[in-house]
Amino acid sequence: MSNGNFKERLEENPNYQKANAYKEKVLALGNDSLEKTIAVALALCFVCAILVSFAAVALRPLQIENKALDMKKNILEVAGLLDEGTDINQAFSDQIEEKLVDIETGDYIDDMDVVTYDQRKAAKDPSQNINISTEDDIASIKRKAKIAKVYLVKSGDVIESIILPMHGYGLWSTMYGFLALESDGQTVKSINFYDQAETPGLGGEVVNPNWRALWKGKKVYSESGDVKLGLIKGVVDTSKPGSEYDVDGLAGATLTSLGVSNLVKYWMSNQGFSAYLDKVRIEGEG
């Protein structure tokens, strides 16, 4: 159909003629007229709605891609593999192995697609989650996915780092992060939080590199296997026996500090990754 034909047919359409007549009538009204003000406002809303909808739909794939890239960046960072100028996609695929783990048994799950599995979505899906009893729910998360996504850094077949996802409630928000452990499943390499909404300067200091650096070398489990790692009020006296389990609390943020201790305790306990870490330690499974 040529443009000329289309224009002619449009002009012959009775609905188009009615709309056009209405447009002429509105434009002929004075600028102070209520009808003209409302019609112009509605037309403007209509155009803006189309533009916003178009932008939302067109930018969605880019947003998903950026979110995935940001997650890879966080994992590389907590693994200590992020340098300036690192090609994130390349570094991630070269150096990080993603694995799915049955949280209860600690076994790897090999018959699911690890790349598309979304643990946060699974935690909300009744067919893929477990409700946590109030008594066990020290991290205040109510439910968790049955299957977790863990990340391994390996040298050949030997595991160098185990990166475990953790989340739990602080004061204002659920804090999502990773704990990186050495292959002994006991010594902390690093911690980070990639999604939290605690107050900047108070609880938000969970992202402060200086505070995060205090975690390096800390130990998770006591000799009897209890989770001892956690935050204390104030500054750790490193000369004190047992200080290898303690990290400085966040100044003026006692409740966020408690939230971090609780989420670490939960995810390192038998409610979280202790079964998996036992297997890694004993069987050296990777």
Ligand X SMILES: Cc1cc2nc3c(=O)[nH]c(=O)nc-3n(C[C@H](O)[C@H](O)[C@H](O)COP(=O)(O)O)c2cc1C
In this structure, how many other beta carbons lie within 10 angstroms of the beta carbon of residue 99? 17
**Spatial CB neighbours of 249, under 8 Å, sequence gap ≥ 6:** 231, 232, 233, 234, 257
The residue among 29 and 197 lying less far from ligand X, judged by its C-beta, is: 197
DSSP calls for 31-99: TT-HHHHHHHHHHHHHHHHHHHHHHHHHHHHHHHHHHHHHHHHHHHHHTT---TT--HHHHHHHHEEEE
Tell me the residue type at 216: K
Residue 203 binding ligand X, by CB under 6 A: yes
Counting residues that bind ligand X (by CB under 6 A) gives: 10
Nearer to ligand X, 254 or 270 (CB): 254
Instruction: Pick out residues in 140-159 that bind ligand X (CB under 6 A).
Output: none
How many CA atoms does the CB half-sphere of 132 hold within 13 Å?
22
Per CB under 6 A, 207 contacts ligand X: no
Rounded to whole angstroms, the Cα distance separating 200 from 197 reads 8
Q: What amino acid is encoded at 59 in this protein? A: L
Q: For the chain, give percent helix, strand, coil, nearest 5.
A: 40, 20, 35
Interface residue with ligand X, options 199, 207, 214, 245 (CB under 6 A):
199
CB of 133 to ligand X, least distance (A): 26
Position closest to ligand X via CB: 203
Stretch that binds ligand X, among 15-23, 67-75, 94-102, 194-202 (CB under 6 A): 194-202
In the complex, the smallest distance separating the C-beta of residue 124 from ligand X, rounded to whole angstroms, is 25
Instruction: By CB under 6 A, tell whether 198 contacts ligand X.
Output: yes
Per-residue contact track with ligand X, 214 to 253, x per CB under 6 A?
A: ---------------------------------------x
**Binding region for ligand X (CB under 6 A):** 171-172, 198-199, 202-203, 253-256
